[in-house]
Amino acid sequence: MVTYHAKARGLALLEVLVAMAIALMVMYAALGTLLISRGATAQVQELAQLQQQASYAMHLIGLQIRQAGAVDPVRDEDSGLYAFPAPGTDVDAGPKVFGTEGRDGASDTVTLSFAPVRWPNPAARAAWQYDCIGARVENDERVQARFAIDTRRSSLVCRSLRGSQPVIGQVVDLQVRYRVVTAGVTRELDANQVEAAALWPSVMALEVCLDLKGEERAPDSAALRYRDCSDRERPRDGRVHQVIRHLFHLRNA
């Protein structure tokens, strides 16, 4: 009986090149999917972080706005009763709300002011006896907070009578609109309009808008856009944007 053995034969060069090309395509596809997945996950995480930062900033701004114009009642030594001081006294001096309009679409600024609680015992302090940078306010001072954008550091900054410090980062815009009530009519004006008509004492509410921008880059197209605080369409440029608005009513208006 004659046995025939098949002659062993290796892969041809062309077959090796085809196999390598297929392997590379599979690797590139897997790598692309991994990068896209990582970018999407990073942007979702960053969006959640921006939402937390925006909520904190709005909380801090709201604390100052709601107290704007507040004055502490004064105790009458004879009767022992408390009453608010008359308008125009030194404790009620200065505007409770004042703002400036950014030029050519730049960020606005807003300043709030109110009188602190006057404690008979200086050692007794309430939690809100501290200004927006955490500095303790004495009985004879006013609490003042000026919010603005530091364009060099892309951060929201608060300046008080004791100094200034960043509140949150990654902020590219701050826009403020003012609700003014005159003769029973409510109007929404910008800072220039309020200033021109000398209507700062008539401000009843403020609409504050913050535009926060992420740092993570992701593949983007020109079709992906968002609306900024001025309600204008803008390209995202591969970044996450979190635009948050809130209407605050002055408690003492």
**Chunked mean pLDDT (size 10), the chain, 253 residues:** 55 71 77 60 80 94 86 68 57 73 93 75 58 79 89 94 92 96 91 94 94 80 81 86 93 66
pLDDT of residue 84: 60
What confidence score (pLDDT) does residue 57 get? 95
Query: Number of H helices and number of E strands within the chain?
Result: 2, 13
Helix extents (H) in 117-236: 191-196
**Of the candidates 59, 69, 21, which has an alpha carbon nearest to the alpha carbon of residue 200?**
69
Q: Looking at residue 92, what is its pLDDT?
A: 47
Q: What residues contact 159, with CB distance under 8 A and at least 6 apart? A: 133, 145, 146, 148
Residue where the block lists tokens 């897997």: 30
Exposure string for 16-40, b = 16+ CB within 10 A, e = fewer: eeeeeeeeeeeeeeeeeeeeeeebe
Residues composing the chain: 253
Spell out the long-range contacts of 83-88 with Cβ–Cβ below 8 A and sequence spacing 24 or more: none
Q: Which amino acid is at 118?
A: R
pLDDT at 158: 96
Sign for the CA dihedral angle at 39, 42, 47, 48 comes to positive
| 121: its two tokens | 């015992």
Instruction: Return the pLDDT at 127.
Output: 47
pLDDT of residue 119: 59
Stretch (H or E) spanning 53: helix 13-67
Instruction: Give the model's pLDDT for residue 11.
Output: 60
User: What b/e string do you get for 130-160 counting C-beta neighbours within 10 Å, with b at 16 or more?
Assistant: bbbbeeebeeeebbbbbbbbeeeebbbbbbb
